[in-house]
Chain A
């Protein structure tokens, strides 16, 4: 049992009735980490001293000055910079790097009174679908320790699923919030591109990256997204649109909702259990007054290739800043500047990161630019138009988040193309830029499955309303892994 089985609202009730203090909640997080993280291996760095001091200060703030997430513990993915708290992107090349400012989202967490517990493991530079590409450790799936938690925000999902923290932030470039949320049986939202500031998010693919919340239920997720959203002068791609009160959308009423179900999302490569769980979910939504129809997103099959060319091209440019000179790892015993660059990067980056930098550099180089990079940008237009067309006629698009539940550690790590195929149902959403959530919708052999709900640009409210209505009608989100009950 842990306090963290409660929602934010329930935790605030306990705080207001003085049954627990913010100091107690912070201590609960570090106690849970101490007991569980030897098995789960989610945290790369802990913020114990500062968090404990902060919690004591927050306990002194009058109740009327507090918001809905005040005093609650959160874990932060290690590609989001935190002043004075080591941030590595799970890469050797950033070993020992202490950021000198906070990411905009981290400033917003602090302004909301949230307590940062520590930094969460990931695939190196967010490149991967299993957390096996971390240079430091492989996070385990709390539902079965021999399985991956997904990636790249694998530890952000695993820490919430294990009840180490009730909230976390992840980032999603091609599915990196939604796929681990599905694998770990928690709620993960990739907001509309531009909804959340990327200032202080170490860039992987700038036209695709978005930070988003991972939680145990939909309402907490809506509260956290509202907290981190908004236009930011430090990110010129953040959108100047109003931030709604997302939690106010959770009315439970989805009568008349029009759902599109793309046949490409239930076709070849999608497992029988994932398909069946989606069909069951559609029945639940129908019983609540929604209707659904099959549609087609004809360019879906081209999304994977488009994504790998575009994201790798952007990464090859973004990651050129890691040169061993201003921060992080620096190779020794080199002759000249060129050697310093080459040796620092060769020794500092892992294999997957090198592979993608090379793929990106190749796609952008003279002679291949038109055939790969420009072609992929044109196909991206076609993919985006598929979504625009369907979302003109329907409120949401629904399908599975991933083709299968979590696979075993070591199963496909050496096979890049098979590994990439895990993200086939999440990648097109990043290319289109629309928002999407993954919520728990069933199990296969004891491992969680995720339902993906995709919405229109800046219409996260409708997604949350549907997700919440479904959550109220089911109890998948109430189930916890065995590890939850600490030995």
Chain B
């Protein structure tokens, strides 16, 4: 599994929404291959019945009172939007 093909890299790039050139795909295949090969060492460890750690603190269901609070101001939120029209965020065609 350590060896990554150029095709695999292109597939991963698509999943990650990154445009990628042939040259980059080749370079990333080598570099990611080396990193995943390095990561293979984890297989030496027997982790049968070891609980995965997602989080180090014993926190469960942090809840607040169910009370409505004021959110951010709409106009302020639009300040960083590059393309907008009539208070709406504008994007290119969603379907071809």
- A residues touching B (Cβ–Cβ < 8 Å)? 97-98, 100-101, 193-194, 207, 233, 236-237, 239, 299, 301-302, 304-306, 308-309, 316, 320, 323-328, 330, 334-343, 345-346, 349, 354-355, 357-359, 361-362, 365, 368, 371-372, 374-382, 384, 416-417, 431-433
Chain B residues whose C-beta falls within 8 Å of the C-beta of A417 in the assembled complex? 34-35, 38
Report Cα–Cα, A325/B80, bound state, in Å. 9
Report Cα–Cα, A378/B46, bound state, in Å. 10
- From B28, B42, B72, contact of A376 by CB (8 A): B42
Q: List 16 A-B contacts (CB under 8 A).
A: A194-B57, A207-B54, A207-B55, A207-B56, A236-B59, A299-B45, A308-B39, A326-B80, A342-B19, A345-B19, A362-B32, A379-B42, A379-B47, A381-B52, A416-B35, A417-B34
Q: Contact at B1–A368, with CB atoms within 8 Å? A: yes
Report Cα–Cα, A308/B38, bound state, in Å. 10
Report Cα–Cα, A237/B57, bound state, in Å. 8
Q: Contact at A305–B39, with CB atoms within 8 Å? A: yes
- From A354, A359, A433, contact of B18 by CB (8 A): A354
B7-46 contacts to A (CB < 8 Å): 8-9, 12-13, 15-20, 28, 31-32, 34-36, 38-39, 41-43, 45
Chain B residues whose C-beta falls within 8 Å of the C-beta of A376 in the assembled complex? 39, 42
Q: Contact at B80–A341, with CB atoms within 8 Å? A: no
Find the B residue at minimum CB distance from A366.
B15
Q: Does B89 contact A (CB under 8 A)?
A: yes
Report Cα–Cα, A372/B80, bound state, in Å. 37
Report Cα–Cα, A193/B56, bound state, in Å. 8
Q: Contact at B39–A337, with CB atoms within 8 Å? A: no
B67-96 contacts to A (CB < 8 Å): 72, 76-77, 79-83, 89, 91-96
Q: Contact at B38–A305, with CB atoms within 8 Å? A: yes
Interface residues of A, dominant DSSP:
helix
Q: Contact at B92–A362, with CB atoms within 8 Å? A: no
Number of interface residues of B (CB under 8 A): 51
- From B41, B53, B77, B93, contact of A380 by CB (8 A): B53
Q: Contact at B50–A378, with CB atoms within 8 Å? A: yes
Q: Contact at A349–B18, with CB atoms within 8 Å? A: yes
Min CB gap A222→B, angstroms: 22
Total cross-chain contacts (CB, 8 A) = 160
Knowing that A358-B12, A381-B53 touch, tell me 12 more A-B residue pairs with CB under 8 angstroms: A308-B35, A309-B42, A335-B96, A342-B18, A358-B16, A362-B12, A365-B15, A372-B36, A376-B42, A378-B51, A378-B52, A380-B52
Chain B residues whose C-beta falls within 8 Å of the C-beta of A337 in the assembled complex? 91-94
Q: Contact at B53–A384, with CB atoms within 8 Å? A: yes
Q: Contact at A316–B16, with CB atoms within 8 Å? A: yes
Find the A residue at minimum CB distance from B63.
A236
Find the B residue at minimum CB distance from A365.
B15
Find the B residue at minimum CB distance from A346.
B19
Report Cα–Cα, A342/B92, bound state, in Å. 13
A305 touching B42 in the complex, CB below 8 Å, given contacts A358-B13, A384-B53? yes
A358 touching B80 in the complex, CB below 8 Å, given contacts A375-B47, A380-B53, A417-B34? no
Q: Contact at A100–B80, with CB atoms within 8 Å? A: yes
Q: Contact at B59–A359, with CB atoms within 8 Å? A: no
Chain A residues whose C-beta falls within 8 Å of the C-beta of B9 in the assembled complex? 358
Report Cα–Cα, A376/B27, bound state, in Å. 25
Q: Which of A100, A207, A308, A368 has the most CB of B within 10 A?
A: A100
Find the B residue at minimum CB distance from A361.
B16
- From B28, B41, B72, contact of A305 by CB (8 A): B41
Report Cα–Cα, A334/B53, bound state, in Å. 41
Chain A residues whose C-beta falls within 8 Å of the C-beta of B81 in the assembled complex? 325-327
Q: Which of B12, B17, B82 has the most CB of A within 10 A?
A: B17
Chain A residues whose C-beta falls within 8 Å of the C-beta of B45 in the assembled complex? 299, 302, 379, 382
